Amino acid sequence: MNFKASQIAEILQGKVEGDPDSLVNDFSKIEESKENSLTFLANPKYEKYIYTTKASVVLVNDDFKPEKDISATLIRVPNAYKALATLLEFYEKSMPQKTGIEQPSFIHESAVLGDSVYVGAFAYIGENAKIGDNVKIYPQAYIGDNVVIEDNSIIYAGVKIYHGCKIGKNCIIHAGAVIGSDGFGFAPDETGEYKKIQQIGIVILEQDVEIGANTCIDRATMGETVVRKGAKLDNLIQIAHNVDVGSRTVMAAQVGVAGSTKIGKECMMGGQVGLAGHLTVPDRVKFGAQSGVPNSVKKEGETLLGSPAINVTDFAKSFIIFKKLPDIYRQINEMEKTLKNITNE
């Protein structure tokens, strides 16, 4: 499908600089661009590519000031990265949408399906499940008994949603994710054997939540494990039983959150962050990659790094000292040798 630069600018409410009739039919990265494609420039370190790009149209920020001539047509917008997201969403919605029930699949007679639902081949929908309008359930997904999936949510291939869990509107769950598996609860008996503690709670994903591929969210021992509105979880994340993830909190791959930890809204976690159990994290806290968090965080909006995680300013000062430790160690050894020589004399 071809779009003119002028049509794209109208969608984004942007301003065209160059040929408004420039046609695009694909997207490309600015450093690997090709003819008749659209790309964008949001990060200044990629600016050098805009002067040699083969792309026909480039989205740029309003304040972009070129240092050389540019052959491509520019569309100026307040935020090029946000504009690209808007355009990709528009493009996705313009594509043909899957509907209908493919066979073979199993849908229990007591399950309730809304309008314009898609169920892929080999999917399973259990007893008393409730599926909202425009929900898409891709092949080999498992939807357990009494599961609720609200309107416009997408359940990709191979997702497993255990019994009783609730998925809000406009959620996306990527392939291989498991929602509602048992929390890791065991109690040693008098012989030292571990007796399983039955996990009778559920998982709730509020609306606009996205869960990455192969992420696991455990059901609560009692009550609810909750991922709140607008939170985004990357691939390969573990959320343990009774965790509460705040609204619009984001987590990168391989984050692990132990049981009963409460995380505030708009927090950010880099890859491989690990949080111990029964902690509280206030709103807008940021954790750098591989941070280890053994204790609750007290200050809202703080940035923490390291293991154990400490304030970013303290971490930077400590890291300077850490890099100097070999020299400090050598100096101490030399001082000891000098001291021994003086003592022996």
User: 245 φ, ψ to 5°?
Assistant: -100, 125
Indicate the DSSP class of residue 66.
Answer: -
Burial of 267 from C-beta contacts in 10 A (0-12 / 13-18 / 19+): buried
Catalytic residue set: 241
CB atoms within 10 A of CB 165: 23
Q: What is the DSSP string of 309-322?
A: TEEHHHHHHHHHHH
* DSSP assignments along 198-261, one per residue: P---EEEE-TT-EE-TT-EEEPPSSSEEEE-TT-EE-SS-EE-TT-EEPTT-EE-TT-EE-TT-
Give the number of other CB atoms < 10 A from CB of residue 323.
9
